């Protein structure tokens, strides 16, 4: 669905570059091979980032994160991308509605493939038009400096004294 959405936007003449960040597998899915051929030099990065800081640099350079996942327990990569300023385009399922504040949901969620393509096209044609600062502020609550005391308190409450 992700690559089909990219192709639909590309077919409409919308220019974009790609950073395809992720783990390299022994057997590369056919969709990735097709994308390498189709987008060629528009792929600025392909595969695993060398380090967490390299991964973060790619996120800070990006401005939109189209997500088509059907399996995700929490959405760590989505939270990281939002923190770095990416506008998420999310399916309205899984854990994503729990991450995005209700008032931001209309601009971040899509219901079906056609809406994903429309939102992706608009985000690519008008980058950074959407103010995601409130969303970034929300995901700051997941920073370890804020979460560690919460976890410590929960773990202490479970200990038998």
Mean pLDDT, the chain, whole residue set: 90
Which helix (H) or strand (E) covers residue 122, if one does?
Answer: helix 113-125
Instruction: Give me the pLDDT at residue 32, please.
Output: 86
Please report, for residues 48, 65, 76, 110, 119, the alpha-carbon distance to residue 81 in angstroms, rounded to integers and kept in the order given.
Answer: 16, 7, 9, 18, 17
Instruction: Give me the pLDDT at residue 161, please.
Output: 64
Instruction: Give me the pLDDT at residue 23, please.
Output: 75
Q: Which portions of the chain are predicted below pLDDT 70? A: 24-25, 129, 160-161
Closest CA to 101 of 135, 128, 51: 135
The pTM score is 0.86
Question: How far apart are the C-alpha atoms of 53 and 59, rounded to whole Å?
Answer: 10
């Amino acid at each position: 669905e992700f690559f089909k959405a990219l192709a639909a936007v590309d077919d409409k003449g919308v220019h974009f570059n790609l950073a395809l960040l992720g783990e390299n597998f022994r057997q590369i899915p056919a969709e990735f091979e097709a994308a390498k051929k189709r987008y060629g030099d528009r792929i600025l990065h392909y595969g695993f980032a060398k380090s967490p800081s390299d991964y973060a640099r790619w996120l800070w350079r990006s401005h939109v994160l189209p997500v088509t996942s059907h399996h995700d327990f929490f959405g760590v990569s989505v939270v990281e991308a939002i923190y770095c300023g990416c506008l998420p385009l999310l399916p309205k399922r899984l854990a994503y509605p729990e991450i995005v504040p209700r008032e931001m949901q209309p601009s971040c969620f899509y219901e079906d493939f056609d809406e994903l393509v429309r939102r992706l096209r608009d985000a690519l044609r008008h980058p950074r038009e959407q103010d995601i600062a409130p969303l970034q502020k929300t995901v700051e609550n997941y920073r370890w400096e804020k979460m560690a005391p919460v976890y410590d308190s929960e773990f202490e409450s479970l200990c038998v004294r």
